[in-house]
C-alpha cells in the first residue's frame, strides 16, 4: 500500500515538473524492474559552477531584464475548468491528470488511513525511527559537537539560511514598522495617500493621522498591536486582525499594500529596508509571499508593475504567490459569478504572458523571480461539500458555498501543470505548489497536499495520521511550521514525537 501511494505521488510530480526524492524514485524503479535494492555507499556530488544555477549568484545590471520571445500563435482556452494550450491543428499540447483520475487516486490514498495492519506497521516503524535517533544522539552527540567546533568561521549565524514562510506584509518586525511609520510622518506628511469615500477628496498622511487623533509622539509598539499573542489562539479572525496597525485597516492599506492610492510606494520602501538588512547579514535569505486574490484580471499586471517601478528586488529574496480561498466572500459581495472567474483571473494572464511576452511585458519580467504558488485560508472552516465526480465544474459552481480544500488545490495544480509544460518548452522558469496544509480541519487536506504539492506549510495534523507521516518520511517531504503560527494553533511537537 505504501508503495502504491508513493507511485501515485511520483506520477503527479512528474506531470507537474516538481521535485521527487531521487532515492525513493530509484527504489520504485527497482521494484518495477523486479530487482532487489542494493545499498550503495554514499557518493558526494561534484561541485558545479555558478553557471549551472543561474539564479544562485548576484544579478548584475537590471534584475528584471530578460529576453522577449516572439508570439508563437498557440490558442489558450479552458476545458472542464483547466487551462489548456492548443496548436494550429486545435490539438491540446500538454497532458494533465483529469479530475476523475485525481478523485479516484485521492480516494485510494485516503482509504489507506483506515487500514489496520498498515496503521500498526507505521506505528512500529515511526517508533523504531525515533528510538534509533535517540540512540544516535546518545552515542554521537559529543563527537558531532566537537566536529562542529573544529570548523572555522561556521556557526548558526554564518551559514546560509532561507525563511520560506514569510508574508511580505509582515516580514518586518513591529519595531521596524513603528520606526518606518514615524519616519514617514516626519519626512512626508504632505503626501496624498488616501481618498475620502464620502467627500471624494484626497487626504494627506498628516490629515489621515489627525482624523485618527494620533501623533508620532503617541505611537508605540504596544499601540501598534501587530504582534500575534496568545489571544489569537485558535482565532483566525484575530490573527488576521494583527495585520492592521493600531487596529486600523486604513493604515494597512496605506503602508503595507502594493495596490493603493500611492501605488504601494511606502510598502516598497519598507520592503527594500528589510531586503537591505538581509543583504547586510549576508547569510540570510527569504521567500516572501505576495497575494493574488483572483478578483480582477489586472491583478498580476499591477503587482508586476509595482515591483518593477519601485525596483523591489534583492539577490536574497524570491517571491511566492498565495491565492486565498475566499470564493464565498467574493460571491456574497457579488464580485465574481462563479469559481471559474477566479481561475481565469489567476491563470489567464500567466498563459498570455508565456504565449506572447509582449502582451504583458511587466508580468513577463516579474515572473522570472516567482518560484511558485500557495493556497491560504482558515482550514478549520467546516466543509459541507466534498469533491466528488459529480461535483460542479468551476464554470457551474454558482452556489454561495466555498469549494472544498481539495477542489481548490486540484484546479490550481492542474492549470499549473499545463503552464509549467508550456513555459518549459518556451525556455522560461517553472513553478511549484507549496500550500498551507494540515494547519487545522480534516486530514483530507494532507492527502491532497501529499498528492499535489511539492512541500507544505504547517502539517500540524500529521501527528494524528501516522500513515501520512510515514509517507512524508519516505519522501523527505518538507514541512515548514512558522513560529508565529504556534500562537494560532497551539504547541507544535514534531510529527515523530509521541502524542
Cell of 232: 489569537
Q: What is the model's pTM?
A: 0.87
Return d(Cα 195, Cα 200) in angstroms, integer: 6
Considering only CA atoms, which of 317, 324, 275 is closest in space to residue 299?
324
Sequence length of the chain is 499
Q: Which helix (H) or strand (E) holds 103?
A: helix 99-112
Band of pLDDT at residue 301, cut at 50, 70 and 90: very high
Name, of 108-112, 214-218, 343-347, the range with top average pLDDT.
Answer: 343-347
pLDDT digits (tens, 9 = 90+) for 18-70: 999 898 888 888 887 765 545 444 444 444 444 444 445 556 678 898 889 99
- The answer to whether 493 touches 463, Cβ cutoff 8 Å, is yes
User: What was the pLDDT predicted at 213?
Assistant: 84
Whether residue 410 is predicted with pLDDT greater than 90 in this model: the reply is yes
Helix (H, G, I), strand (E, B) or coil at 159: coil
Task: Estimate to the nearest angstrom the gap between the alpha carbon of 318 and the chain centroid.
Answer: 11
* pLDDT average, residue stretch 288-294: 93
Whether residue 487 is predicted with pLDDT greater than 50 in this model: the reply is no
Cell of 345: 483571473
458 is catalytic: yes
User: What was the pLDDT predicted at 243?
Assistant: 59
User: What was the pLDDT predicted at 346?
Assistant: 96
User: What was the pLDDT predicted at 480?
Assistant: 65
Phi, psi of 224 (to 5 degrees): -60, -45
User: What was the pLDDT predicted at 309?
Assistant: 94
pLDDT digits (tens, 9 = 90+) for 172-186: 888 888 899 899 999
Cell of 499: 502524542
Q: At CB < 8 A and 24+ separation, what contacts does 227-231 make?
A: 227/174, 228/484, 228/487, 228/488, 229/487, 230/487
pLDDT digits (tens, 9 = 90+) for 183-238: 999 998 898 988 888 888 899 999 988 888 888 777 878 767 666 656 655 555 55
* pLDDT average, residue stretch 374-402: 89
* List 167, 364, 436, 458, catalytic entry: 458
**Torsion from C-alpha of 436, 115, 410, 419, nearest 10 degrees:** 90
pLDDT digits (tens, 9 = 90+) for 236-278: 555 556 556 766 778 888 888 898 889 999 999 999 999 999 9
* Strand 75-79 to 82-86 pairing: antiparallel
Query: What Rg, from alpha-carbon coordinates, does the chain have?
Result: 24
% of the chain exceeding 90 in pLDDT: 47
* pLDDT average, residue stretch 149-177: 84
What rounded mean pLDDT belongs to the chain? Answer: 85
Phi, psi of 165 (to 5 degrees): -140, 75
**Which stretches within 333-491 are classed as H helix?**
339-355, 361-367, 405-426, 444-452, 466-475, 486-489
pLDDT digits (tens, 9 = 90+) for 118-136: 889 989 998 999 999 999 9
* pLDDT average, residue stretch 386-395: 92
Secondary structure, 3-state, 195-234: ECCCCCCEEEHHHHHHHCCCCCCCCCHHHHCCCCCHHHCC
User: What was the pLDDT predicted at 369?
Assistant: 94
User: What was the pLDDT predicted at 494?
Assistant: 45
pLDDT digits (tens, 9 = 90+) for 347-360: 999 999 999 999 99
User: What was the pLDDT predicted at 45?
Assistant: 42
* pLDDT average, residue stretch 416-435: 94
Helix (H, G, I), strand (E, B) or coil at 131: helix
- The answer to whether 300 touches 349, Cβ cutoff 8 Å, is yes
Strand-pairing partners, residue 321, are 290, 373
181-216: b or e for each residue (b if 16 or more CB lie within 10 Å)? beebbeebeebebbeeeeeeeebebebbbeeeebee
Whether residue 387 is predicted with pLDDT greater than 60 in this model: the reply is yes
* Out of 67-76, 158-167, 481-490, least confident range: 481-490
Return d(Cα 351, Cα 341) in angstroms, integer: 15
Return d(Cα 453, Cα 373) in angstroms, integer: 10
The gap between the terminal CA atoms of the chain, to the nearest Å, is 25
Amino acid at each position: 500500500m505504501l508503495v502504491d501511494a508513493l507511485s501515485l505521488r511520483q506520477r503527479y510530480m512528474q506531470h507537474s515538473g516538481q521535485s521527487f526524492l531521487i532515492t525513493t524514485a530509484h527504489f520504485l524503479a527497482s521494484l518495477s524492474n523486479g530487482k532487489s535494492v542494493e545499498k550503495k555507499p554514499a557518493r558526494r556530488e561534484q561541485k558545479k559552477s555558478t553557471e549551472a544555477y543561474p539564479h544562485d549568484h548576484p544579478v548584475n545590471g537590471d534584475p528584471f531584464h530578460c529576453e522577449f520571445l516572439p508570439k508563437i500563435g498557440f490558442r489558450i482556452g479552458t476545458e472542464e475548468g483547466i487551462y489548456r494550450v492548443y496548436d494550429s491543428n486545435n490539438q491540446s499540447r500538454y497532458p494533465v491528470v483529469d479530475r476523475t483520475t485525481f478523485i479516484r487516486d485521492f480516494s485510494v490514498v485516503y482509504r489507506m488511513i483506515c487500514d489496520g495492519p498498515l496503521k500498526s506497521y507505521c506505528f512500529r516503524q515511526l517508533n523504531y525511527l525515533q528510538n534509533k535517533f535517540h540512540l544516535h544522539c546518545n552515542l554521537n552527540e559529543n563527537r558531532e559537537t566537537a566536529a562542529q567546533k573544529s570548523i572555522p568561521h561556521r556557526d548558526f549565524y554564518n551559514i546560509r539560511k532561507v525563511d520560506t514562510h514569510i508574508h511580505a506584509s509582515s516580514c518586518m518586525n513591529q519595531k521596524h514598522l513603528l520606526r518606518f511609520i514615524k519616519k514617514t510622518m516626519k519626512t512626508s506628511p504632505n503626501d496624498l495617500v488616501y481618498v475620502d469615500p464620502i467627500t471624494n477628496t484626497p487626504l494627506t498622511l498628516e490629515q489621515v493621522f489627525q482624523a485618527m487623533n494620533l501623533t508620532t509622539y503617541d505611537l508605540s509598539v504596544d499601540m501598534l498591536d501587530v504582534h500575534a499573542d496568545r489571544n489569537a489562539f485558535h482565532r483566525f479572525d484575530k490573527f488576521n486582525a494583527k495585520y492592521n496597525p493600531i487596529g486600523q485597516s486604513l493604515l494597512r492599506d496605506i503602508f503595507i499594500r502594493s495596490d493603493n492610492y500611492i501605488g504601494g510606494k511606502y510598502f516598497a520602501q519598507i520592503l527594500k529596508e528589510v531586503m537591505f538588512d538581509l543583504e547586510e547579514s549576508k547569510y540570510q535569505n527569504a521567500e516572501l509571499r505576495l497575494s493574488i486574490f483572483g478578483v480582477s484580471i489586472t491583478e498580476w499586471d499591477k503587482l508586476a508593475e509595482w515591483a518593477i517601478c519601485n525596483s523591489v528586488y534583492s539577490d536574497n529574496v524570491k517571491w511566492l504567490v498565495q491565492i486565498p480561498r475566499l470564493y464565498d466572500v467574493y460571491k456574497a459581495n457579488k464580485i465574481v459569478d462563479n469559481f471559474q472567474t477566479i481561475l481565469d483571473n489567476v491563470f489567464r494572464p500567466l498563459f498570455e504572458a508565456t504565449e506572447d511576452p509582449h502582451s504583458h511585458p511587466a508580468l513577463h519580467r516579474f515572473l522570472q523571480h516567482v518560484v511558485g504558488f500557495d493556497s491560504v485560508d482558515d482550514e478549520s472552516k467546516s466543509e459541507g461539500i466534498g469533491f466528488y465526480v459529480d461535483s460542479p465544474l468551476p464554470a457551474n459552481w454558482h452556489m454561495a458555498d466555498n469549494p472544498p480544500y481539495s477542489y481548490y488545490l486540484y484546479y490550481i495544480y492542474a492549470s499549473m501543470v499545463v503552464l509549467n509544460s508550456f513555459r518549459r518548452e518556451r525556455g522560461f522558469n517553472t513553478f511549484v505548489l507549496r500550500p498551507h496544509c494540515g494547519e487545522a480541519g480534516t486530514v483530507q487536506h494532507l492527502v491532497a497536499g501529499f498528492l499535489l504539492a511539492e512541500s507544505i506549510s504547517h502539517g500540524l495534523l500529521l501527528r494524528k495520521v501516522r500513515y501520512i507521516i510515514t509517507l512524508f518520511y519516505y519522501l523527505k517531504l518538507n514541512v515548514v511550521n512558522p513560529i508565529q503560527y504556534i500562537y494560532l494553533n497551539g504547541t507544535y511537537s514534531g510529527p515523530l514525537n509521541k502524542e
